[in-house]
C-alpha cells in the first residue's frame, strides 16, 4: 500500500511520488479476480499507477485527475511511442543550450508567481536561492526552445519536475512543505542544477525509454486519461461498461495536494496566479479546509450522524472550525461517486477502494464503514473490508482516541 516500492520500477521512478500504492497492489488484484477485466476505471489517477499497470496487462482503463501536474505526470508515463534516437537528439540540443546560459534568463522565463519564491528585501525565508532558480529557468527555456515534439516536451518537463524539490529550500513534511535544516547555506550552483537534470535524462529516462522501445502494448490508456473533476467527468463513461474500479481517493485527513505539490505547479507554469490556485482547490474533492464550503448538510447515515454529534459534544479543541463541514462534504462527494459507479459498472464487476479512517475533536470517523454504507445504499454489495495497515495520526488525536487509526481496502461487488 506504499508507493515507495515503485522507486526503482520502470516508468514509475520518473518522479518520486510519495502518496499512492505500489504496482504490486494492482498485480495482486488481477491475480485475485476470477475473470480478465475488459474495461476499468481509476477516478483519482494521481501519478498514474493504476492505468499504467493495467495498460501493461493490455486492459483498457479510463482515468481522471484534477491536478494539472499529476495529470501531466500520468499522461507522460502512459505514452509508449518514445524512442532512444529522438530522446538523444533532443537531449543534446537541450545540453547545448544549457552550456551557454543567458545572463538575463529572467527576461526570457517568468519567475513563478508568489511572494516567497526568491529572496527579496526584508524576507526571512524563500523557496529558491538565486542560482537554483536560474538553473531551473535555464532548463525550462531550453526545453521550450529546443524540444519541438510535444511528447518529448512533456517528458523533459517531467524530468525537470523530478529535481525541483531537490533544488529548492523545502521538503515535503506530511501535509505541507517545510524548510530544510540549514537551507540558508545550502546553495546549489546553476551548473549543478543543469547536471542534475541531464543526469536524470541520461540514466533513469534513457534506460526506461530504451526498455519501452522494445515493448509495444496493444492498449494505450493515455488517450482516456482525462483532466478534470471526476465528479463531473465520470458522466463521459458509458453506463454498464466497467468491470473493475481500483482507486485510492484523497483521504479525509485535511491534506491539500495543491499545497504539497505547489512548487511543481508553479515552476512548470501549470498555475500562474492565486486566482487559478483558488479555482483548482474548488475543483478538488472536499477533503481539506483550504476552501470555504459553506454549510453542508450531512447525508443520511447513522454512523456519520453519531460522529458529528460526538464532535459537537467534545471538549477537545480543533485547529479549524470548518472541519465538520469538510466531513459532510467529503461523504456527499462519495455518495455522488458511488451512485455513478453503480450506473457505470456491469453486473459481476468489482471495486477496490482504498481509504483511511480519520479523527477530529478526539472522535474517530470510521470512513471505511460509512463508505461501505454508501455503497450498499447505491445498490452495490460490500464483500469485505480488509485492514491494510495502521497509520499515524497527530499526537493530540492519538492520545484522545487511545488507539491507532487504520487504512483499509473495501472490496465491493456489482451484483
Span 120-130, pLDDT tens digits: 999 999 999 99
Contacts of 212 (CB under 8 A, 6+ apart): 10, 11, 80, 82
Confidence band for 8, pLDDT divided at 50, 70 and 90: confident
pLDDT over threshold 60, residue 3: no
Confidence band for 396, pLDDT divided at 50, 70 and 90: low
Domain ranges of the chain: 3-67+218-260+272-413, 84-213
Confidence band for 310, pLDDT divided at 50, 70 and 90: very high
The CATH superfamily assigned to 3-67+218-260+272-413 is Vaccinia Virus protein VP39 (3.40.50.150)
Output the pLDDT for position 265. 98
Contact 269, 373 (CB under 8 A): no
Contacts of 105 (CB under 8 A, 6+ apart): 134, 137, 138, 141
CA distance 349 to 75: 26
Q: Which residue has the cell 529535481?
A: 163
What is the mean predicted confidence (pLDDT) over 264-278?
Answer: 97
Span 131-144, pLDDT tens digits: 999 999 999 999 99
The model carries a pTM of 0.94
Confidence band for 400, pLDDT divided at 50, 70 and 90: low
Amino acid at each position: 500500500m506504499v508507493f515507495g516500492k515503485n522507486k526503482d520500477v520502470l516508468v514509475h521512478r520518473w518522479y518520486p511520488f510519495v502518496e499512492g500504492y505500489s504496482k504490486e497492489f494492482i498485480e495482486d488484484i488481477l491475480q485475485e479476480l476470477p475473470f480478465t477485466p475488459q474495461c476499468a476505471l481509476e477516478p483519482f489517477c494521481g501519478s498514474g499507477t493504476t492505468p499504467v499497470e493495467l495498460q501493461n496487462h493490455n486492459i483498457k482503463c479510463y482515468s481522471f485527475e484534477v491536478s494539472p501536474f499529476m495529470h501531466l505526470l500520468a499522461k507522460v508515463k502512459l505514452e509508449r511511442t518514445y524512442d532512444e534516437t529522438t530522446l538523444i537528439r533532443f537531449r543534446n540540443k537541450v545540453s547545448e543550450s544549457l552550456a551557454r546560459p543567458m545572463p538575463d534568463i529572467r527576461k526570457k522565463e517568468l519567475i513563478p508567481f508568489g511572494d516567497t519564491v526568491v529572496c527579496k528585501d526584508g524576507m526571512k525565508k524563500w523557496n529558491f536561492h538565486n542560482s537554483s532558480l536560474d538553473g531551473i529557468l535555464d532548463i525550462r527555456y531550453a526545453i521550450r526552445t529546443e524540444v519541438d515534439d510535444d511528447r518529448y516536451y512533456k517528458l523533459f518537463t517531467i524530468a525537470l519536475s523530478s529535481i525541483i524539490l531537490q533544488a529548492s529550500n523545502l521538503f515535503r513534511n506530511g501535509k505541507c512543505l517545510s524548510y530544510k535544516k540549514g537551507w540558508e547555506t545550502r546553495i546549489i550552483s546553476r551548473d549543478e542544477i543543469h547536471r542534475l537534470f541531464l543526469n536524470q535524462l541520461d540514466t533513469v529516462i534513457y534506460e526506461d525509454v530504451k526498455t519501452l522501445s522494445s515493448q509495444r502494448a496493444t492498449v494505450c490508456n493515455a488517450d482516456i486519461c482525462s483532466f478534470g473533476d471526476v465528479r463531473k467527468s465520470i458522466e463521459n463513461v458509458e453506463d454498464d461498461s466497467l468491470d473493475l474500479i481500483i482507486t485510492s481517493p484523497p483521504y479525509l485527513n485535511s491534506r491539500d495536494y495543491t499545497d504539497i505539490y505547489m512548487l511543481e505547479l508553479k515552476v512548470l507554469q501549470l498555475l500562474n496566479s492565486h486566482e487559478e490556485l483558488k479555482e483548482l482547490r474548488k475543483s478538488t474533492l472536499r477533503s481539506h479546509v483550504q476552501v470555504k464550503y459553506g454549510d453542508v448538510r450531512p447525508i443520511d447515515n447513522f454512523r456519520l450522524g453519531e460522529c458529528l454529534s460526538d464532535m459537537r459534544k467534545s471538549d477537545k479543541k480543533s485547529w479549524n472550525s470548518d472541519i465538520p463541514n469538510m466531513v459532510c462534504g467529503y461523504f456527499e462527494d462519495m455518495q455522488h461517486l458511488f451512485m455513478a459507479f453503480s450506473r457505470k459498472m456491469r453486473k459481476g464487476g468489482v471495486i477496490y477502494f482504498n481509504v483511511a479512517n480519520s479523527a477530529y475533536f478526539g472522535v474517530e470517523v470510521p470512513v471505511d464503514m460509512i463508505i461501505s454504507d454508501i455503497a450498499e445504499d447505491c445498490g452495490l454489495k460490500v464483500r469485505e473490508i480488509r485492514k491494510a495497515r495502521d497509520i499515524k495520526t497527530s499526537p493530540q488525536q492519538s492520545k484522545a482516541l487511545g488507539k491507532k487509526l487504520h487504512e483499509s481496502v473495501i472490496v465491493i461487488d456489482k451484483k
